[in-house]
Amino acid sequence: MPDEVTPKEKRGRVIDHAKRLYSIVVGLAVAEACKRLFPFDSWNSTTFVLFCTFLVTIIPIFQGFDRSLDAKYYELPLGETSKSRMLYLWDDMMLLITSIFFFGMAQSIEINSIPAPATFYFIMSLMLFFDCVVLVIDRFKTHIPARLDHYRTWIAINFCVICFYASSAVPNPHPDGPATGLEWFVLIAAIARSAIDYAVSVGFMFPHTEDTKPA
């Protein structure tokens, strides 16, 4: 007689479906970014700086969204209600839209083989602003707000690193030549944002085994 599948295992399978779609689109975005960087037939440091900014920005956001599904629907499920299903579908849609922003960022690293920092920063700023809106809504709609206190830090650092205003000072398309100081500054800011992200939410991003045990 086969072992019975537990409700938690069933929930895990449902969550995995959303994660697969999210991961596929993000993976395509990373592939698009790599296509802009390789091969090094026409090296441009601006392309490299935008590529690095892209990577250090999306990695913690990707992991944070991924972990939030587990925290809200796998570790502490809402329950089998129509409201819980609607909230889960909402989160799925927000994940997909965010991954589409990632894809847009990747494609705007270079447009027609010419670095396009203004477009890249504009899409990046839209993504960060969208992420802030989602985090605010999520903080109030979730049934486990105490476990999402780090959302406030995520919202704050996203607003601090939004690059819309910086983009107005960067020409698009970028002329041939090395990356500008402003572009390096945005990369440093993106690295700082990700470092703060992990420092504040390390327990959420990398949960310990004992954290998942029932009280």
> Tens digits of per-residue pLDDT, 82-129?
666 777 788 888 888 988 999 999 999 988 888 888 889 888 888 888
Closest CA to 19 of 82, 110, 95, 100: 95
Closest CA to 84 of 130, 142, 39, 134: 142
What is the pLDDT at residue 107? Answer: 92
Query: CA-CA distance, 127 to 69, in Å (whole number)?
Result: 19
- Report percent pLDDT > 90 for the chain: 9
| Range list of H helices, 38-81 | 45-69
The answer on pLDDT for 28 being more than 80 is yes
129-139: per-residue pLDDT in tens?
888 888 888 77
Mean predicted lDDT score pLDDT of the chain: 78
Query: CA-CA distance, 21 to 129, in Å (whole number)?
Result: 22
The answer on pLDDT for 158 being more than 90 is no
35-60: per-residue pLDDT in tens?
888 776 666 788 889 999 999 999 98
The answer on pLDDT for 175 being more than 80 is no
Determine which of 75-79, 117-121, 155-159 has the lowest per-residue pLDDT on average.
75-79
Residue 114: helix, strand or coil by DSSP?
strand
Query: CA-CA distance, 214 to 6, in Å (whole number)?
Result: 16
Residue 110: helix, strand or coil by DSSP?
strand
Query: CA-CA distance, 206 to 204, in Å (whole number)?
Result: 6
- Report percent pLDDT > 70 for the chain: 72
Closest CA to 109 of 23, 183, 41: 183
| Stated pTM of the model | 0.81
Q: What share of residues in the chain are helix, strand, coil (percent, to 5)?
A: 75, 0, 20
